[in-house]
Amino acid sequence: MHSLGRLAAVATLFVAIGSSGSALAADKVRQAIDRVNQAWLAAYIAHDSAKIAALYAPDASVFPPSMERANGRDEIRNVWQGFMDAGATNVSLHTVDVDAHGSIAIETGDVALDMPGKDGKLAHVTAKYVVAWKRGKGGWQLYRDIWNDNPPR
């Protein structure tokens, strides 16, 4: 019975070490995604839709609300240029969670921005998003990006 207790202790230690390693790996993925999100925001503020598109994988897609799916960097650049041209400003992102599995990670979060209304006045808009990230040679890239508006408050 004594060796059975020792075996259980060793097994528990291995599980704890494995969990700790997974937590560290998840933290590194979260940090990498946070860095790309900051680069995305900086590019948006600079009105550089080409730089935003370069943060997406070459085979990425975005799914904007009430618009057609945009495939590839050229179409993605056009989507973000459209938001810039429409006057969307003060964009902020808040990552709620990141769940990483090998070379794929799923991020969920909240976004807020100011968008001109039909009367020309800025309206504060909030939304939620899900991004599937893909790790490639150059690091983590946005792969599938979908969002939708929250109801007005």
List the domain boundaries for the chain: 2-149
Residuewise pLDDT in 10s, the chain (153 residues): 455 545 444 344 344 434 444 665 778 999 999 999 999 999 999 999 999 999 999 999 999 999 999 999 999 999 999 999 999 999 999 999 999 999 999 999 999 999 998 898 999 999 999 999 999 888 999 999 999 999 987
CA-atom Rg of the chain in angstroms: 20
What's the pLDDT score for residue 14? 40
CATH of domain 2-149: 3.10.450.50
Dist. CA 40–CA 52, nearest whole Å: 6
State the pTM of this model: 0.83
Dist. CA 120–CA 86, nearest whole Å: 11
